[in-house]
Protein backbone atom coordinates (compact mmCIF):
# COMPACT_ATOMS: atom_id res chain seq x y z
CA UNK A 1 0.00 0.00 0.00
CA UNK A 2 2.79 2.46 0.81
CA UNK A 3 4.53 1.78 -2.50
CA UNK A 4 1.49 3.16 -4.31
CA UNK A 5 1.75 6.46 -2.42
CA UNK A 6 5.54 6.78 -2.70
CA UNK A 7 5.77 6.00 -6.42
CA UNK A 8 4.13 9.23 -7.74
CA UNK A 9 6.25 11.34 -5.38
CA UNK A 10 9.44 9.58 -6.46
CA UNK A 11 8.48 10.03 -10.11
CA UNK A 12 8.09 13.80 -9.63
CA UNK A 13 11.39 14.08 -7.76
CA UNK A 14 13.18 12.03 -10.40
CA UNK A 15 11.72 14.18 -13.19
CA UNK A 16 12.77 17.37 -11.40
CA UNK A 17 16.35 16.12 -10.96
CA UNK A 18 16.42 15.07 -14.61
CA UNK A 19 15.42 18.55 -15.77
CA UNK A 20 17.88 20.24 -13.38
CA UNK A 21 20.78 18.09 -14.53
CA UNK A 22 19.83 18.68 -18.18
CA UNK A 23 19.86 22.46 -17.67
CA UNK A 24 23.20 22.31 -15.84
CA UNK A 25 24.70 20.18 -18.60
CA UNK A 26 23.41 22.58 -21.27
CA UNK A 27 24.85 25.56 -19.41
CA UNK A 28 28.16 23.73 -18.97
CA UNK A 29 28.36 22.99 -22.67
CA UNK A 30 27.36 26.51 -23.70
CA UNK A 31 29.54 28.50 -21.30
CA UNK A 32 33.24 28.38 -20.56
CA UNK A 33 34.58 27.94 -17.04
CA UNK A 34 35.38 31.63 -16.67
CA UNK A 35 31.84 32.59 -17.69
CA UNK A 36 30.38 30.13 -15.19
CA UNK A 37 32.62 31.62 -12.47
CA UNK A 38 31.41 35.09 -13.43
CA UNK A 39 27.75 34.07 -13.15
CA UNK A 40 28.36 32.34 -9.81
CA UNK A 41 30.16 35.46 -8.54
CA UNK A 42 27.26 37.68 -9.57
CA UNK A 43 24.75 35.38 -7.87
CA UNK A 44 26.79 35.24 -4.66
CA UNK A 45 27.13 39.04 -4.66
CA UNK A 46 23.38 39.44 -5.07
CA UNK A 47 22.71 36.94 -2.25
CA UNK A 48 25.12 38.72 0.10
CA UNK A 49 23.55 42.06 -0.80
CA UNK A 50 20.15 40.64 0.13
CA UNK A 51 21.47 39.40 3.48
CA UNK A 52 23.08 42.79 4.19
CA UNK A 53 19.81 44.56 3.37
CA UNK A 54 17.92 42.28 5.79
CA UNK A 55 20.43 43.01 8.56
CA UNK A 56 20.15 46.75 7.90
CA UNK A 57 16.35 46.56 7.90
CA UNK A 58 16.25 44.64 11.20
CA UNK A 59 18.71 47.06 12.82
CA UNK A 60 16.58 50.00 11.68
CA UNK A 61 13.47 48.41 13.27
CA UNK A 62 15.35 47.76 16.52
CA UNK A 63 16.62 51.35 16.65
CA UNK A 64 13.09 52.64 16.10
CA UNK A 65 11.76 50.46 18.92
CA UNK A 66 14.63 51.47 21.24
CA UNK A 67 13.90 55.14 20.53
CA UNK A 68 10.21 54.59 21.31
CA UNK A 69 10.97 53.01 24.69
CA UNK A 70 13.48 55.75 25.56
CA UNK A 71 10.76 58.33 24.85
CA UNK A 72 8.29 56.42 27.04
CA UNK A 73 10.84 56.34 29.89
CA UNK A 74 11.52 60.05 29.49
CA UNK A 75 7.81 60.88 29.57
CA UNK A 76 7.34 58.82 32.74
CA UNK A 77 10.32 60.52 34.39
CA UNK A 78 8.87 63.96 33.55
CA UNK A 79 5.52 62.93 35.07
CA UNK A 80 7.32 61.76 38.22
CA UNK A 81 9.15 65.08 38.51
CA UNK A 82 5.95 67.06 38.03
CA UNK A 83 4.16 64.99 40.67
CA UNK A 84 7.04 65.43 43.11
CA UNK A 85 7.02 69.22 42.56
CA UNK A 86 3.26 69.37 43.16
CA UNK A 87 3.65 67.39 46.40
CA UNK A 88 6.57 69.55 47.48
CA UNK A 89 8.99 66.64 47.56
CA UNK A 90 12.59 66.56 46.48
CA UNK A 91 12.54 64.42 43.35
CA UNK A 92 16.24 63.78 42.86
CA UNK A 93 17.81 64.00 46.30
CA UNK A 94 20.82 62.10 45.06
CA UNK A 95 22.89 59.55 46.90
CA UNK A 96 23.72 60.32 50.52
CA UNK A 97 27.42 59.67 51.01
CA UNK A 98 28.67 58.65 54.43
CA UNK A 99 32.12 59.51 55.69
CA UNK A 100 33.13 55.99 56.60
CA UNK A 101 36.38 57.04 58.25
CA UNK A 102 34.68 59.51 60.58
CA UNK A 103 31.55 57.45 61.20
CA UNK A 104 33.32 54.74 63.12
CA UNK A 105 31.97 51.28 63.70
CA UNK A 106 28.14 51.04 63.83
CA UNK A 107 28.44 48.26 66.41
CA UNK A 108 30.16 50.64 68.84
CA UNK A 109 27.27 53.13 68.77
CA UNK A 110 24.87 50.75 70.57
Query: Half-sphere exposure of residue 65, counting CA atoms within 13 Å on the CB side?
Result: 6
For residue 82, the model assigns a pLDDT of 85
pLDDT of residue 5: 57
58-93 pLDDT per residue, tens: 999 999 999 999 999 889 888 888 888 888 777 665
| Over residues 28-35, mean pLDDT | 81
| Residues of the chain above pLDDT 90, percent | 29
Range among 10-14, 21-25, 28-32, 49-53 with highest mean pLDDT value = 49-53
Q: Check residue 86 and give its pLDDT.
A: 84
* pLDDT at 34 (0 to 100): 86
Amino acid sequence: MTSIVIKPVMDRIQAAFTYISAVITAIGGFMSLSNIALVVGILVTLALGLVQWQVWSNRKKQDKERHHWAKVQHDLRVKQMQAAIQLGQDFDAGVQLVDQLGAGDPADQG
